[in-house]
Amino acid sequence: PENLSLKPHRSSDLAYSAIRSATFARKTGLTSRDFQLIRRIGSGDIGTVYLCQLANADEKCCYAMKVVDKEALAMKNKVQRAEMEKKILKMLDHPFLPTLYAEFEASHFSCIVMEYCSGGDLHSLRHKHPQKRFSLSSARFYAAEVLVALEYLHMLGIIYRDLKPENVLVRSDGHIMLSDFDLSLCSDAIAAVESPSSSPDPTPPQNHRSSRPPTTPLSCLFHRFFRSKKIQTLAPNNLFFVAEPVTARSRSFVGTHEYISPEVAAGGSHGNAVDWWSLGIFIYEMIYGGTPFAAPSNEVTLRNIVKRPLTFPTHSPASLLEHHARDL
C-alpha cells in the first residue's frame, strides 16, 4: 500500500508490525476509521497530537497521530511547513528519529501516525530533577544520542534547525527521539565519499566536514552513496567521507530565540553549522538548568548571542568531566 514503507530498524517493533498487518489487510491503506483517539497529548504551531490505537487490532499498541488543519494552515501561510515535515518523515529510518507509520487525509485534515514516546520530553524531565538540571552522565547520554541523530539527518541533506529540549522526546526504554521537522531545511546535498582534490572549493566558509573512512557509512544509506555522482574511484587512503551538507544555505529566520546561532541572530545566511551551535546550547541547558544567553526579551537575547562571550557558572569548582563538556 502507498502509505506504508519498509523500515528495517523497526522490524522487531510490535507497533510497527501491527500497523503493517492492518495496512496489508485493508490493501488500500489505513484511514481515520482504523484508529481510536484516546486523548490529546500535545499541540504545536502546525498541528495537534493525539494518543491513539488501532481500532480493531489484537495488539493494543499506542501511536501518536498529528492532525493538521489544512484550511487553518493555508490562512497562516504555513502549508509548506507541514508538507516539509511529511517529506522528511518519509525519508527517515533511524533509532533516534520518528517512524512514519501511516498517513491519510480526512476531510480538510491531514493526519500522520508516528511512534508514541511515553517518557515525555527532556524539558519536562529536566524540571523534575533536583535544581532542574541533569547529572553530567545523563547529559552526556542524551547529548550523544542527539548528536547521532543530527549526523544522520545531515547525511540526508537535512538541517534540523529546531533543536531544543521540548523537541527531544523520551521513549519507554529511555532512548531519545527528535520530533517536529516543520522548520527543517531539506537540501539536495547528500553524504558522499570524496577525495580532497574533488572538492570544487577546498576552503569553503564555515566548513564543518566530518571525515571518516569510506568503509563506515550507515547501511541504510549505503546504496545512496554509490548512486551519487560525487563518488570518486580512488585509493582508499585518498578518500574521506563527507557527512555534512556544507553547500546548503538559507536566509530564513527560524528556530527558538535562545537556541539560534549568531549568524541567524545577526540576520545573515546559515547552513548546517546552526545545528551544532544548538547542540552546544542544548548541552549547556541540560548541565546548568538554563541557556547561556537568555534575557527578559527576545531582542536582548539575540543581542547577547551576537555580542556577549560565553560564560559558565562559578558557584562550584568544575569537575574534569564538566570541563570536557565545556570544551564541546
pLDDT digits (tens, 9 = 90+) for 225-260: 444 434 444 455 667 666 676 666 666 777 789 999
The domains found in the chain, sorted by start residue, are 8-115 (3.30.200.20), 122-186+248-327 (1.10.510.10), 192-242 (no CATH)
Q: From start to end of the chain, where are the E strands?
A: 35-43, 48-54, 62-69, 100-106, 109-115, 158-159, 168-170, 176-178, 185-186, 192-194, 240-242
Classified as helix, coil or strand, 258 is helix
The question of whether 162 is a catalytic residue gets the answer: yes
The pLDDT tens digits for 83-103 are: 999 999 999 999 999 999 999
Tens digit of pLDDT for each residue in 137-180? 999 999 999 999 999 999 999 999 999 999 999 999 999 999 99
* Global confidence as pTM: 0.80
Task: Determine which one of 93, 162, 182, 275 is catalytic.
Answer: 162
Q: How far apart are CA 65 and CA 48, in angstroms?
A: 8
pLDDT in tens, 104-144: 998 899 999 999 999 999 999 999 998 999 999 999 999 99
Q: Which residues pair with 111 in a beta bridge?
A: 67, 104
